[in-house]
Amino acid sequence: MKLQTRRQLLNFATLSSLALTGAVVWGALSIDLQPNKLEPSKPLTQSLSTKKNGPAKPITAVSLQFDSKQSYWTRSLRGPLYDPPPVVKKKIVKKPRPIPVTLKGTILEPDNSQAFLQQANGKVVLKRIGDLITADERDGIIVEITASEVVIEREDGQVRVAVKGPN
């Protein structure tokens, strides 16, 4: 093969590859880019039908279109490779305050029931219905006194304190 023929073939290959590249770039830029819009095109029919499947069923082809307003060329490539997992909020379980007294005994009378409560410092006090069990209101108020237990009303509900040992 002559040198001139080789040059002509090389020039033709170069020009055709440049033309093909230009056509691909022009075609990519002329596509109407609209994401997430699925439009079914004309339904196609299956060419083969069997007795088991029955008559031919139409198949719809789906074409994707992208929004030309969104610029994919200016999008940053330094973003994360994947979305991080969602943050799970921990539920804080608030433990109820401990009862600062123990029930040592009860005295039951029709209008004057009383309870012997031992405080955390060891002091035994006599309390009636409606009295605070300690100086702090959050510890609760005595609502009911029975033979074996005392019902205390607190912010978090009612608490029953039973007598430990013989009454």
Helix (H) / strand (E) element for 26: namely helix 3-30
Q: For residue 44, what pLDDT band results from cuts at 50, 70 and 90?
A: very low
Per the structure block, which two tokens stand in for 59?
Answer: 């198949």
Specify the CATH architecture of the domain 102-162.
Answer: Roll (2.30)
Q: How far apart are CA 139 and CA 119, in angstroms?
A: 12
Write down the domain spans for the chain: 32-79, 102-162
CA atoms of 75 and 45, how far apart (whole Å)? 40
Contacts of 25 (CB under 8 A, 6+ apart): none
Tell me the per-residue pLDDT of 79-115, one tens digit each, with 9 for 90 and over. 777 778 889 998 888 887 888 899 999 999 988 899 9
Say which DSSP state 82 is in: S
Q: Number of helices (H) and strands (E) in the chain: give both, helices first.
A: 1, 8
Residue 66: predicted pLDDT: 58
> How far does the chain reach from its first CA to its final CA, in angstroms?
121
Q: pLDDT band at 116, cuts 50/70/90?
A: very high
What's the rounded Cα separation, in Å, for the pair 113 and 151? 12
pTM of this prediction?
A: 0.44
